[in-house]
Amino acid sequence: MTRNGASSVDRWGRDIESERFAPPFFDTLYDKYFRVEWEGVENIPRRGGALLVSNHAGMFPLDGFFVQNGVLRETGRPVYGLAHRGFYDFPFMSRLLERSGAVAAHPDNADRLLREDEHLVMVFPEGAKGPVKPPSQRYKLQRFGRGGFVETAMRAQVPIVPIVLCGTEDTTPVLTVLPSPNGDFPVTLNALLFGPVLGAFAQFPAKITIRALPPVEWDDPAPSDHIPLSLLMDRAEEIRELMQDQLDKMLYARKSTYVDFGSPLKFLFGERR
């Protein structure tokens, strides 16, 4: 509710006003534990719809939190995330997802968010492949599906803004991947140290750097009913290669992965770097 008693919840179930006054705990995580830094924030559109495409890693979806919180801080614009519809099968999960800015992944929802509401929308084209890849694929972006996100942007006539995160794979380092009937299961250092449950939430304090790249647009007319799959996949691979190149450069340039041995004192007493 707003101060005058009117509801601040939008048609997607999100309460933007409450997010602006989030508990200080989240700011502490963002600013002092992970020391998140942005580059290229001027590439985030200040108006109109845009599809933010990001790499995805880590056993707990902190990358979405980093992007949503950072964009809201830097530009004042909320970011909506397209979430797998399977999450909505869990009790009470639907309301929690809606309040956090997640919307069930469906072409109609994406089009309304981008075209009608002119929002910023975030997707992770790697899907589940990002967090469960083996150590040999560390910081190697997995295949971007069949180009569905490209079709979403083309039909909504909005730009794609690639966003590259460096450091997220170090918050829950994967030691090995075990096969299971329900798909590959990653074994993380966190799980070995803290147990499988706590290890999913206990994150190492890796420094996170986020780089927003210039918007990508194509000179196509409004798409017809059918867009060739080969075109979608080629353009998805173009975006993936662009992001991989930037990620390689970010890894090469970073000075440290984690805070030094004095970091617990720095964290407790507020010194940043």
Which domains does the chain show, CATH number per domain?
24-269 (3.40.1130)
Q: Which of 17, 26, 11, 37 is nearest to 165 (CA)?
A: 37
- pLDDT for 132 equals 81
What does each C-alpha distance from 244 to 158, 181, 247 come to in angstroms?
Answer: 22, 31, 5
Is the pLDDT at 231 greater than 80? The verdict is yes
More confident residue, 3 or 273: 3
**pTM of the predicted structure, to 2 decimals:** 0.86
Is the pLDDT at 271 greater than 90? The verdict is no
Q: Which of 97, 135, 103 is nearest to 119 (CA)?
A: 103
pLDDT digits (tens, 9 = 90+) for 247-262: 999 999 988 888 654 4
What is the rounded average pLDDT for all residues in the chain? 84
Mean pLDDT within 125-152: 89
Token digits of residue 176: 């090995």
- pLDDT for 270 equals 44
More confident residue, 229 or 180: 229
- pLDDT for 266 equals 46
- AA letter at 69: N
- pLDDT for 272 equals 43
Token digits of residue 216: 């990508």
Mean pLDDT within 177-184: 78
Mean pLDDT within 25-43: 92
